[in-house]
Each structure stands twice: as C-alpha cells, then as structure tokens.
Amino acid sequence: MSTVTAATTSAPATDSMQGIADTRRRVKAILVGSVGNLIEWYDVYAYSAFALYFAPSFFPATDPVAQQLSAAIVFAAAFVIRPLGGIVFGWIADKHGRRNALMLSVVLMCFGSLLIAVSPTYAEIGVGATAILVVARLLQGLSQGGEYGASATYLAEMAHPARRGFYSGVWYMTLIGGQLAAVLVLLVLQHVFLTPAELKAWGWRIPFVIGALLSVYALFMRRDMHETTHFTEASSRAAPSGSIKTLLKHWRELLIVVGITIGGTSAFYTYTTYMQKFLKLSVGLDDLQVTLVVLGYLIVALILQPIYGALSDKFGRKPMLIWFGVMGVLCTYPLLSTLAQTKSPWLAFLLICAAWLIVSGYTSITGIIKAELFPTSIRALGVGVPYALTVSIFGGTVDTVALGFKQAGHESWFYWYATACIFISLLVYLGMRDTRTHSKMEQH
C-alpha cells in the first residue's frame, strides 16, 4: 500500500517538474529565436534615432528638415525590398527549416550595420556616400523582411498552444527592446562620452558597430537552435512547402494579413521611429528631453506587450484588435494634435503612453495572429510576404509622409492619414474570425 501511495504522490511531482522543464525549454527557444528581432529593431531605431546626427554626413542640404526628409526617404527605401526578403527567407524557412532562415538573416544584418559604420561621408566621396548608405539599408531591409516571418513562425510553433498570445507579447518585447537598446546607446553617447559636435563628426558610427557585433552574438546564440516539431512533422509527410503557387491558394488569408497590418504598422511607426523627430521638430523638446521621453514610453510599451498578449489568450485575439481599431480611430487625431501643442516633456510622455495603451492591442498579438492563419507548410511565407509588402507601403513611409506634410505646412493632415489607416484595419477586424478559436496551427 505504501508503495502505491508513494508512486501516486510522486507522479504529480514528476509531471510538475516536466512541465517546468518544458516551459523553460520553450521560453529559451523563443528568446533565442527572437534575438534577431531585437537586433533588427535595434538597427532600425539606431538609424532613426541617430539620423539627427549623421544626416549632414550624407546629405548636403542646409535645411535640417530637408536633411531629415532625405534620411527618411533612404529609411523608407529599405522597406521597398522587404517583400523580397520575405519571399527569399520565407521560402528557405518553409523548405529548409526555420533555423536555417534565422541563421542566414542574422548574417545579413551584420553586413548592413557594418557597411554604415565604415561608410565615407559626402564630403569625402560625394554622392557615393549616399549610395553606400542606400545599399546598407537595402541589405538591412532584406534581412528584416526575412527575419519577421521566420521568427514569428518559430515563435508560434514553439509556444504552448494555450499561451501563444502571451508568448507573442514576449516576442514583441524584443522588437521594442531593440529600440530601447538604441535609445540607451544614444543617451549614453549624448551625455556621458561625447559632445554633440563629436556625435555629428564620427560618434554616430558607434551604434552601427554595436549592431554588427550584436549580430555576431545572435549567430553564436542560434547555432544550437532546435527545429520546430511542426516543421519536422510536415517535412516527414512530404507536404508541399515554400511555393508561391501554394501560397496564392491562401489568397483570403493573405488579404487578411494586409488588412490587419495597415493600421497597426502605421500606428506603430508613428509612435516609434517618427516620434523622436516629432518631439524634436514639432513639440520643440531639446535632445535630452526627447531621449528621456522616448526611453520612458518604450519601457511602458515593453511592459504592456505580455499583459495584452495574455489577455488575448483569455478573451480572444479579435477583441484586442477591435479595441485598438476603435480607440485608434477615435483618439489618434486628438492625441497627436494635443501632443504637438504641448511644451511639457511630462505631458508628452503621458500622451504617448496613452497611445501605447491603444496600440498594444495590435502589437502584442500581431505575430501570432498571422501565424495562426496559415498551415505549417506555407506559414513563414504566409506571415512574411504580405506583412513585408504592407509595411513597405504603410509603415516604412510614415516618416516620409509625416515630414512631407510638415514641410508643406499641413502637418495635421498626417493625423488624419494615420486615422484613416486604422479605420481600414478596423473594418477587417470586425469581419474576421478569431484566430484563437479558428487556428490552422496544427494543419500541415
């Protein structure tokens, strides 16, 4: 009897230990798979954050707004090539494994960052410097286009089915974490090591050297990544994979991804890459105030992601998207117009935090929703290609559109533009099925 009792009581303990070990394994795999996202967004935000310093080195115009507009156009150019990255790396991920795609994308990240770090200036080689900057950004764009689809797919397939929303929020923390790291580098360089003159002369190269080194570290981290069970099982069944022809058979899902992304990506880029310029050029804060405000609201945004993701596990993905859509339509214009009129860094911080309470309804779960729309054999392509295409049109152009309106003397038109993008997505949110309960994750 005692033997039976001991066996009975030890079983729950064993199951509990196995559960803890499984959770640790999943979390480690997701974090390693997501580290490229952190570096990708470090690179994106390093370019955006340090554009205020390096733009004069590549663009000869004397007007600061014109210089920033030129830098924004190059920034947007990288997004034009992102769909190609989504196709190439999505094909690799669906045909040859998520791990291989993630390894290759991080190598390409390294080259892009390193090229910017060592580039000559316009004063040294003329327009050739601008060309080198464009090539570097295109390499980063290819990498970023492939990284998103492959890493979102890896996340979805490694996460526990009942907690995919939560892990999606954790995954998105790495995107915001990359931006946070770039801001911290900016803050340290601005106020500890370098003067503004040194930053403009050569200090702007430092964050790109750091980006290249981070890519090498990510490659080291990913060397022991395990392939996902979903991909292994699909491969063993010889399911057709990595085909554009097969992808186009899922045209409804492709259109849903586009519709989901239009409003979310425009809002995300408004409150990340463009917001630093907005606080500087429109609100009128000084460099230190801008950096501290950005640092503060990114920390808030970071905390919100897993919370909102966990809420989607409990209440569904669709209610979170509708929250973002409705509140985004109602509040975008009031938030941005009020922000433009304030001169207080504290009020600016609170207003942007309010915006993140809205935007997190999209950002926290966007990766998992797209993955849940497609079967395993075509998932990386299905996530990456339509997302990259939409981001190239509505996300990467945010800075260009906003600064273009500002230069034309109609800055408030951008507020309506951002609102309209969210409204389009809201219509999609209202008509789509909830992917938490209508998921294709187990389909091969």
For the stretch 175-230, pLDDT in tens is: 888 888 888 888 888 777 878 778 777 888 888 888 888 888 877 777 777 767 77
Q: Could you tell me the residue range of the domain that residue 68 belongs to? A: 29-431
Supply 256's token pair.
């849903």
Lowest mean pLDDT among 168-172, 182-186, 247-251, 260-264: 247-251
Q: What are phi and psi of 272, to 5 degrees?
A: -125, -85
For the cut 90, the answer to whether the pLDDT of residue 421 exceeds it is yes
Domain assignment of residue 293, yes or no? yes
Q: Using pLDDT thresholds of 50, 70 and 90, give the confidence band for residue 360.
A: very high
Supply the pLDDT for residue 237. Answer: 64
Q: Distance between CA 90 and CA 95 in Å, rounded?
A: 8
Q: Provide mean pLDDT across the span 95-113.
A: 81
Query: Which of 145, 139, 147 is closest to 117 using CA atoms?
Result: 139
Domain assignment of residue 245, yes or no? yes
For the cut 60, the answer to whether the pLDDT of residue 19 exceeds it is no
Query: Which of 364, 338, 321, 227 is closest to 278 using CA atoms?
Result: 338
Domain of residue 372, CATH code: 1.20.1250.20
* Burial readout 102-113 (b: 16 or more C-beta within 10 A, e: otherwise): bbbbbebbbbbb
Q: Please, are residues 441 and 272 in contact by the beta-carbon 8 Å criterion?
A: no
Supply 324's token pair.
């973002």
Domain assignment of residue 400, yes or no? yes
Radius of gyration of the chain (CA): 22
Domain assignment of residue 98, yes or no? yes
Q: Distance between CA 372 and CA 443 in Å, rounded?
A: 10
Q: Please, are residues 56 and 70 in contact by the beta-carbon 8 Å criterion?
A: no
Supply the pLDDT for residue 335. Answer: 92
Q: Please, are residues 345 and 293 in contact by the beta-carbon 8 Å criterion?
A: yes
Q: Using pLDDT thresholds of 50, 70 and 90, give the confidence band for residue 61.
A: low
Supply 247's token pair.
């992808």
Domain assignment of residue 81, yes or no? yes
CA 291 to centroid of chain Cα atoms: 20
Print the SS3 string covering the chain.
CHHHHHHHHHHHHHHHHHHHHHHHHHHHHHHHHHHHHHHHHHHHHHHHHHHHHHHHHHCCCCCHHHHHHHHHHHHHHHHHCHHHHHHHHHHHHHHHCHHHHHHHHHHHHHHHHHHHHHCCCHHHHCHHHHHHHHHHHHHHHHHHHHHHHHHHHHHHHHCCHHHHHHHHHHHHHHHHHHHHHHHHHHHHHHHHHCCHHHHHHCHHHHHHHHHHHHHHHHHHHHCCCCCCHHHHHHHHCCCCCCCHHHHHCCHHHHHHHHHHHHHHHHHHHHCCHHHHHHHHHHHCCCHHHHHHHHHHHHHHHHHHHHHHHHHHHHHCHHHHHHHHHHHHHHHHHHHHHHHHHCCCHHHHHHHHHHHHHHHHHHHCCHHHHHHHCCCHHHHHHHHHHHHHHHHHHHHCCHHHHHHHHHHCCCCHHHHHHHHHHHHHHHHHHHHCCCCCCCCCCCCC
pLDDT digits (tens, 9 = 90+) for 64-86: 666 767 777 777 777 788 888 88
Query: How many structural domains are present in the chain?
Result: 1
Q: Please, are residues 225 and 75 in contact by the beta-carbon 8 Å criterion?
A: no
What pTM did the predictor assign?
Answer: 0.80
Q: Provide mean pLDDT across the span 289-298.
A: 87
Domain assignment of residue 218, yes or no? yes
Q: Distance between CA 37 and CA 305 in Å, rounded?
A: 15
Q: What are phi and psi of 284, to 5 degrees?
A: 90, 20
Supply the pLDDT for residue 2. Answer: 47
Supply the pLDDT for residue 170. Answer: 84
For the cut 70, the answer to whether the pLDDT of residue 88 exceeds it is yes
Domain assignment of residue 196, yes or no? yes
Supply the pLDDT for residue 6. Answer: 47
Q: Distance between CA 177 and CA 302 in Å, rounded?
A: 7
Q: Distance between CA 154 and CA 157 in Å, rounded?
A: 5
Domain assignment of residue 1, yes or no? no
**pLDDT higher at 110 or 56:** 110
